[in-house]
Each structure stands twice: as C-alpha cells, then as structure tokens.
A and B are shown apart, each in its own frame.
Chain A
C-alpha cells in the first residue's frame, strides 16, 4: 500500500446556530484546508464527505446536498456515515482511496448543522433506538450515557469529582482555540453543581449541540513531497463494530475502541502504545467518555484513567496530553466535524502549528479516536511526523 500524508487542514468556528447553510460551512472548511496546503480544487482527484444522521440537519441525502460545498462537483465523491465515529472514519476512507493507488489527492470534509433540529437534536436521537424494545420508553440519549457512566463508575469505584476534572481541563484548553464554542475556566464544583440531566450526568459533563465543519487534504507520497516539507503521515488506521444489543455486553468497557486501536497499532508497528503515542484526542462528548476511551485505547489500565487525570498527566504540559484542542466538551460537538476537528488538531500539533494550544516538546506521533452509533463503533487514526 502507498504511503498517505495529511498536508492541509481547516475548520469553521463551532457555534450553537450558524447563519451559513451546511454546504456553506463545508465550503469554508474545505477552502481553508486547500489554502493551507497551497492547493486548489483542480488538484483534488476525489472527495470524501462525512456527516452523521440526515435527521440532524433535516436534509435528506446529506451527502448529495453537501457535495458542491465539499468540492465534489464533477469528481468521484462519496459520503460515509458511522454515527459519531464518522469524523475519524472519513479520513480513513480518504486514506484507502489513496493507499489503494486509485487517487493521488483527496479532500475530506465533515459537516453537521444540529441547530436545524427543533427544539433540540434529542428528538432525532430518539429515533436511533430500536422501535420495538426501546423507543416506546422514550429514551433520551442522556439517559443511555448516564447508564453507561454509572456502570463505569461503579465497577471501578470512580467518583463524579474525578470525572469532572476532565470537563474542567477540556473547557480550559478550549479557551485557546479560536474556533471554540465553550471555552471556559470552571471548577469541579461548577460541574457538580450544574443542573442534573440524568444522574450521574450533569449539564457540564456534556458537550453542546453545535454547527460547524472541518476538512483535511490528504495525498500520496509523491504529491506530499512536492507540496510540503512538513507532511504528516497516516501511520495506522482501525475501525470496529460491536453489537447494537445492550443486553449482551458490559458497558463499563468499550471493546469496540480496543479492537479498532489494536488494528491501528498493528498497522503502525506500535508495540507499547503508552510509550509510543505522544498526544491523543479521544472522543469526549461526555467527560467520562474521555476516560473510558483512554482505557479502550490501551493507553492505561482499566479504571486507571481518572488517576492519570488527577495527576496532571493528561494536561497539555503532562506526559500524555489528552484533548489539547479542548475536545468536544470545549470546542463543541457538530458530530462528524467534531471527530475531524480532532484529526486537524493532531495535524497542527505535529507540525508545531497549534499556536497557544501547542504542547511542549516536539510530539512525533498522535492518535485521534471517535466512537459512534449505539456505543458500538470505534474509529482510530494514528498520525506521525
């Protein structure tokens, strides 16, 4: 398989309601990514679009809708969708477009406009549950996460205070992100005292609903060497699916993340991820999810992630910076765009272009992960200099 590099990245501000349409947001991010690579639409051979359920934007067949704003005019274009994992799966799709030798340069664009869904995207989330066994109960996504969080806390004896530290860290990190929706200096008490949504989930444990887009330009080795002296290489990719039935698995541990990670580590030749991954952007739609996913990524023992957080290991200047961007909790959560934002962040960090968010030292390798559907899909990408 050919080597594949990321050579450009861009994103819009993440906001609660954008005036721009989804396709206008897609264009802003895509154009920024191309400009940053010194490339134009003429250089693009194929387009990959990532966007989560059509129900959020209220646009049926969103891939077709977004295509012109994503650079898909008269080009081979396809949209992928694996729930919340879409934003990390989209560059994986870009990777295999190129690694296969089929295309030299691919523009990858992810978009979500969740403000269209009225009064709140929870109405659309309801419909992802089974119409026979779960929907009659009126499930709210928050309850389901609360059920998972409680199981995770109880199995390992983790407190809400320990988990709230993640929200405090990520919202603080986001204060340095020019596109962030919710950068804020908070205390653990602020998180604990925020409104209870579904115990043990309080309002500040949760990322917001957002509008936004993100994009990256990916290309084959010979193109990368021509257009940049700072290519960031795709070293590993992995994705995996678990059953959609809650009833036959234990929610305290995300196996689908572990299997996706193992696939990516194998491809990257990584034997000891804790030593070989310098920086990580795990998916953090809820604060406990960052911890849960760090464990699934084998970056610590099961139940150990809260201690790493309390010890400052996951701070920007810690041994393993986690969500230096500010994550979904701080930057915002336009679903597919949020996942790709994490890939953009690893790209900027590895190039030393993360501005005030730059982690110290010169990180060589970073990992972005997203998760989706009914807590069952894992997608992982490893980038390196």
Chain B
C-alpha cells in the first residue's frame, strides 16, 4: 500500500517545456478585417448573399449555407455593450491594478461584434446597453492587429 501523499514536493519532478512558436496568417477574410483597422480606422463585415446575414469579423464563407460571402465592406467601429466583466486578476492569478473591463460589443448595423477592452470609463459607470466607439492608435503606430484598437470608450 502506498501512503497518502500530502506534499506534492515529495515526488521527484523535473521541469519540461513544449517549445513551439507559431506564425499565423490572418486568412482571406481576416486580411480584409485587419487592413480596415490598420489603413482606414474602421471595422469590416461581409454578408451572405443567400442568408442576408452580416458577419463581423468578416468571413470568406457563410457557415449556414456554405455560400461565398460578398466582399467585405467597411463598418464604423461603434456599437453597444451587450455584456461585460471587470477582471481583477491576471492569467496567473496576480492582482490587476487597475482592474480591466472586458466587453462584448455588438457592432451597429451587423449581426456580429467583438470582444475588447473598455477605457475612459470607470467600472461602476459601465452598463449593458452602453453605446461605445473604438479608440484607434495613431495611424503610424498601427501594425495590422486587433490591438491597433486601444479600447472602446463611451460615445460622446
């Protein structure tokens, strides 16, 4: 019979890593999305010609009917907070100071949206239904990433 182990340090261990790095492509639709953000300071959506659904982020194909979607079109980076959270701890459980607000923003005029940070607002002032718009980095600093948007802030 093995004795019950109460201290995991009693087992001999050694560290190991899985050393893998990646380079990703944005894809056909993803490329259009990131170009809109970087080059024009807006978002992009694509529409299924058969189902009439707008996808944001844009997609190459419609998941419902498999049609190729129309070319992505520019969409203003503005919408409504559909839901949100206030994070007080980071990935490793350390305190986040100040806390970070993450929201799902439904983008006006589309059936889609995105997760992003909220800024220029106190956690206590955020509510579901709040109208928000994106704050973009200056054009020269944009690299073609979702982080070219610094955060969303309340409209007005």
Contacts and interface: CB of A to CB of B under 8 A. Distances in A.
Interface stretch (A112-120, A252-260, A316-324, A367-375): A112-120
Contacts of B18: 55, 127
Contact of B61 (A17, A31, A131): A31
B25 A20 contact: yes
Interface string B76-88: 0000000000000
Interface string A59-99: 00000000011010100000000000000000000000000
Given A41-B66, A68-B63, A123 B28 contact: no
Contacts of A141: none
A163 B154 CA distance: 68
B30 A21 contact: yes
A124 interface: yes
Interface in A190-216: none
Nearest to B26: A21
Size class of the A contact interface (CB-based, 8 Å): 20 to 34
Contacts of B31: 19
B132 to A, nearest CB: 27
Contacts of B24: 21, 58, 116
B23 interface: yes
B22 A24 contact: no
Contacts of B149: none
Contacts, number: 69
Contacts of B5: none
B64 interface: yes
B29 A24 contact: yes
A24 B66 contact: no
Nearest to A135: B16
B66 A40 contact: yes
A19 B31 CA distance: 9
A381 interface: no
A27 interface: yes
Nearest to A26: B61
Contacts of A300: none
Nearest to B24: A116
Interface in A1-54: 17-21, 23-24, 27, 30-31, 34, 40-42
A116 B28 contact: no
Interface string A113-144: 00111110001101100010001000000000
Contacts of A18: 25
B20 interface: yes
B129 to A, nearest CB: 28
A67 to B, nearest CB: 8
B21 interface: yes
A27 B61 contact: yes
A173 B61 CA distance: 33
A40 B66 CA distance: 8
B91 interface: no
Contact of A41 (B21, B30, B60, B65): B65
B20 A21 contact: no
A68 to B, nearest CB: 4
Given A19-B27, A19-B28, A31 B22 contact: no
Contact of B27 (A24, A55, A73, A123): A24
A20 B19 CA distance: 25
Given A17-B25, A123-B21, A71 B66 contact: yes
Contact of A124 (B20, B23, B61, B63): B20
A103 B80 CA distance: 42
A167 B155 CA distance: 64
B53 to A, nearest CB: 11
Nearest to A31: B66
A19 B66 contact: no
A135 B18 CA distance: 10
B22 A58 contact: yes
A118 B61 contact: no
Nearest to B25: A19
A55 B20 contact: yes
B27 A20 contact: yes
Interface in B52-84: 60-61, 63-66
Contacts of B64: 41, 73
A31 B16 CA distance: 42
Contacts of B19: 123, 126
Nearest to B19: A123
Question: Nearest 6 A-B pairs (CB), nearest first?
Answer: A21-B27, A58-B22, A68-B63, A73-B63, A118-B21, A27-B61
8 contacts: A19-B25, A21-B26, A24-B61, A40-B66, A73-B63, A73-B64, A118-B21, A119-B21
Interface of B: 16, 18-31, 60-61, 63-66
Interface of A: 17-21, 23-24, 27, 30-31, 34, 40-42, 55, 58, 68-69, 71, 73, 115-119, 123-124, 126-127, 131, 135
Given A19-B31, A123-B20, 6 more contacts: A24-B60, A30-B66, A69-B61, A73-B64, A116-B23, A131-B16
